[in-house]
Amino acid sequence: MKRSLVLPTIALAALTGLAACGVGAGSSQSAPSGNELSPSASVSGEITFWHAYSAGGGEINALEKTIIPNFEKLHPGVKVHDVQVPSSDMHQKLITATAGGALPDVVRADIVTVPELAKLGVLAPLSDVMPDFQSWAAKMFPGPLATNKYKDKYWGLPLDTNTRVVIYNQDALTSQGVSQVPKSLDDLKAAASKVGGGKFIFAEGGSGAWNLLPFIWSNGGEMTDPSVSKATGYLNSPQTVDAIQMLVDMYRAKQIPGNILGGSGDTPTSDGLAKGLYDTIVDGPWTFPGLTASYPSFKPATEPMFSGSAGSISVVGGEDIVMTQQSKNKALAAEFVRYMLSPDAQQAMGKVGQLSAEPALAADMASYAPYYAPYLEQLKTARPRPATPQWAKVDDIFTKQVQLAFQGKVTVQQALDSAASQIDPLLAQG
Amino acid sequence: MSTEAPFRARTEHVPAPSRPSKPRRGGSSRRPAHWWIPWAFAAPGLAFFALTTGYPLVRSLQISFYQWSVLPGTDSPFVGFDNYVRALGDPQFWTSVVNAGAYLLMTVPATIAVSLVFAVLLHRPMPARTLFRVLYYIPVVTSWVVVSLLFKYLFSSDNGAVNWFLQDVLHAVSEPVPWLEQRWTALAAVSMLGIWKNLGWCIVVFLAALGGVQQDLYEAAALDGANAWAKFANVTFPGIRGTVIFVAIVQIIGAFNVFPSILLMTNGGPAGSTEVPLTYMYKQAFSFLDFGFASAMSFVMAIIISAVSYLQYRITREKKEARR
């Protein structure tokens, strides 16, 4: 090779490997037929289950030592191989496995990825292939169930759920002259001016939809129309703008810390809460085991999400259980889905921090951990983020525009007008 | 390639000794050479290259002309140069290129200058020289993930060590600097990590080159009354000039490829202001499944880097030739 060509070639080679990672050879897809997946069908063989259960909190133990062995005992001769994938890698791993035709049979998927996977053709529609789907769907909280809907079909069932409530540090509030925890958005605004000296009335860990939708919804705003086909008129409505404006004003007045811009390196919200740096945060049930472990003397208290003109509305999180089209043993996969949603498995997971999405099990859940109760209450009104295969892009556009408003580079109205006009064509793609 | 350069530089000052003439190829005592013999020796390497680099490269080029569907067997419409047009007209892509350029300017000259100083110091006989060489090399072998998170804490706004030093020790700022909340301060923080992490590798390469500079040139310079700086400028630097060019090119390519530090320290935020080409491509491919667009951007970047590297190579080579 000529010497002058060596460097450009190295540069080409170094740079272009990335985009080629996600392609692979063909796969076989078979359409499942309804009867073979009925609950009475006999099952045999093996399946693989991908999940992102955490190893530290006892979830893996519950799965591998209790749930899977019990399932295998119920169905002698079957084998479930479970594979733990770190939650941050799950999406990428699913995409590369899709391209390589190497998907597992059953996946515990983040609720926001289900419509995207459904659109890709990766998932088997449970509402079509499981004859008893309706009986399972009827058992679920409506918010978590709605995360499985795409194009009038349900592609999964809620495996576990969570939402976000206000967690506060009463001692910190008292020491700063705020006698009562803010219960509404107006209370929060009013209390903000009383707190200073490097302390903050409230801290939020990012500016994505997960972070800000509870404020928008509680204030009567929306992100899209009910059919998730349009953002203009909703994302840039006066109620949505007001909700974001309130947070932007507080940030600009240094009443909330830089965490809201995401990745700022400020003290993480739960640490700041325990240390008395932040008086209130809005977060999920996973906060409590962490606080107990790191700050045993700190007693966090809870309140429902700050209410606004539309009430107290938080956002649904959690995971759905889905079956892939590529599965070669859909009968066993369906039976495993049923078992994972059974009281036995749900209770075993509830004991290690995974909240069931089945209201009938709410009392059981509340008995496992006192901090579950406010979440179960909040779930009655909590809403899922708009279910669209374009969610990752929609959320990215929203986050970027809102961050520009936080930085004062554009007004909130300009930011949300721009976001809505960029999101509309994405939603139109369906 | 460029690693031969120090030896070439050396011959610029010393007349080459006369060497016995080369034996003719294919002499009567040797078997006739077949054209395929060198290819046979190179075949394992070439096969490995074709599999791990050639195939992905060609496949990636193909993907860049399609609206690529990640699911095998589904339609991927051919879109011609649409993905390239999109990339060239995408302000976020150009922001990411400018950020990579800024990172390059903040890291490459500083890394080369500082590592050259340390290499010259570590080349001299001194106590615990090996220990220092090992210590300076340690950052190179540490995990990018670990040190990126460590630097994120160092540059934390409210209780980071850097702000503590600036505010409480030096009293240089009245309130904490929101390092990672603003574009240029965030890029500066990431650049400091880049310099710290790459220093050791550059020092090792420079030490190897310094070992190749002839000692008698220093003796001759000393006889001519040259001081330390004159020796460095007239003997050391010309002797390792080729290595400096090599290190600069590798560092420039590396700067355009900056990835884990940005991903972990800022994730391209706030508002995409610290995005670099690789984080932007990664998000387009693996978050938004826009593999065609990501591939097109990777080829645009490849062209930019090739052009910059070639330009730099030409400029430095011409300078050298002009000196002859």
pLDDT at A417: 97
Is residue B232 in a domain? yes
pLDDT at B100: 96
Is residue B318 in a domain? yes
Name the residue in chain B with its Cα closest to that of A2. B1
* CATH of region A165-315+390-429: 3.40.190.10
Cβ neighbour number for residue B212 with a 10 Å cutoff: 16
Is the model's pLDDT at A268 over the cut of 70?
A: yes
pLDDT band at A39 (very low <50, low <70, confident <90, very high): confident
- The arithmetic mean of pLDDT across residues B156-166, rounded, is 87
Q: Which of B70, B272, B283 sits opposite A22 (nearest CB)?
A: B70
How long is chain B? 324
Is residue B113 in a domain? yes
Amino acid letter at B22?
A: K
Is the model's pLDDT at A193 over the cut of 70?
A: yes
C-alpha A250/C-alpha A257 separation (Å) is 9
Name the residue in chain A with its Cα closest to that of B303. A12
pLDDT single digits (tens) B178-218: 898 889 999 999 999 999 999 999 999 999 999 988 888 98
Is residue B222 in a domain? yes
pLDDT band at B318 (very low <50, low <70, confident <90, very high): low
CA B103 to chain centre: 11
My answer on whether omega of the bond before B270 falls inside 30° of 0, hence cis, is: yes
Is residue B43 in a domain? no
pLDDT single digits (tens) A50-73: 999 987 668 899 999 999 999 999
C-alpha A221/C-alpha A134 separation (Å) is 32
| Domain assignment of residue B102, given as a range | 81-323
pLDDT band at A5 (very low <50, low <70, confident <90, very high): very low
Is the model's pLDDT at A31 over the cut of 50?
A: no
Interface touch B306/A404, C-beta < 8 Å:
no
Q: Which chain B residues are within 8 Å of A404, Cβ to Cβ? A: 271
Interface touch A258/B160, C-beta < 8 Å:
no
pLDDT at B85: 96
pLDDT single digits (tens) A113-154: 999 999 988 999 999 999 999 999 999 988 899 999 998 899
Interface touch B270/A91, C-beta < 8 Å:
no
Is residue B35 in a domain? no
Q: Which of A20, A24, A265 sits opposite B180 (nearest CB)?
A: A265
Interface touch B74/A25, C-beta < 8 Å:
no
C-alpha B177/C-alpha B157 separation (Å) is 6
Q: List Cβ neighbours of A61 (8 Å cut-off, separation of 6 or more).
A: A352
Name the residue in chain B with its Cα closest to that of A89. B286
Amino acid letter at B3?
A: T
Q: Which of A18, A257, A403 sits opposite B282 (nearest CB)?
A: A18
pLDDT at B321: 53
- The arithmetic mean of pLDDT across residues A360-384, rounded, is 91
Bridge partner list, A46:
A79
More confident residue, B173 or A22: B173
pLDDT at B55: 95
Interface touch B281/A19, C-beta < 8 Å:
yes
More confident residue, B297 or A95: B297
Is the model's pLDDT at A407 over the cut of 80?
A: yes
C-alpha A256/C-alpha A199 separation (Å) is 9
pTM, full prediction: 0.82
Is residue B54 in a domain? no
Q: What percent of chain B has pLDDT over 90?
A: 55
pLDDT single digits (tens) B47-65: 999 999 999 999 999 999 9
Complex-level ipTM beyond the 0.90 threshold:
no
Which position has the token pair 């209130």? A280
pLDDT at A269: 93
Q: Which chain B residues are within 8 Å of A407, Cβ to Cβ? A: 270-271
Q: Which of A7, A24, A121 sits opposite B249 (nearest CB)?
A: A7
More confident residue, B314 or A207: A207
CATH classification at residue B304: 1.10.3720.10
Interface touch A266/B267, C-beta < 8 Å:
no
Is the model's pLDDT at B170 over the cut of 70?
A: yes
More confident residue, B128 or B43: B43
Interface touch A266/B301, C-beta < 8 Å:
no
CA A188 to chain centre: 25
pLDDT single digits (tens) B114-141: 999 999 999 888 888 889 888 989 999 9
- Give the residue from B58, B60, B84 with the most A CB atoms within 10 Å of its CB, the best one to mutate: B60
User: Taking a C-beta distance cutoff of 8 angstroms, is the pair A85, A113 a contact?
Assistant: no
Interface touch B287/A3, C-beta < 8 Å:
no
Interface touch B285/A18, C-beta < 8 Å:
yes
Interface touch B60/A266, C-beta < 8 Å:
no
pLDDT at A430: 77
Q: Which chain A residues are within 8 Å of B270, Cβ to Cβ? A: 261-264, 403, 406-407
Is residue B227 in a domain? yes
pLDDT at B319: 58
Q: What are the start and end residues of each CATH 3.40.190.10 domain in chain A?
A: 2-162+317-379, 165-315+390-429
How long is chain A? 430
Q: Which of A7, A264, A400 sits opposite B313 (nearest CB)?
A: A7
Q: Which chain B residues are within 8 Å of A401, Cβ to Cβ? A: 271
- Per the prediction, chain A carries an average pLDDT of 88
Name the residue in chain A with its Cα closest to that of B294. A19
Assigned architecture for domain A2-162+317-379:
3-Layer(aba) Sandwich (3.40)
C-alpha A355/C-alpha A141 separation (Å) is 12
Structure tokens at A99: 């391209």
- Give the residue from A4, A12, A423 with the most B CB atoms within 10 Å of its CB, the best one to mutate: A12
DSSP state of A385: P
pLDDT at A92: 86
What is the distance in angstroms between the Cα of A246 and the nearest Cα belonging to chain B? 19
Q: How many domains does chain B have?
A: 1
Rg (CA), chain B: 25
How many CB pairs below 8 A link A and B?
170
pLDDT band at B320 (very low <50, low <70, confident <90, very high): low
- The arithmetic mean of pLDDT across residues A240-254, rounded, is 95
pLDDT at A33: 46
Interface touch A265/B156, C-beta < 8 Å:
yes
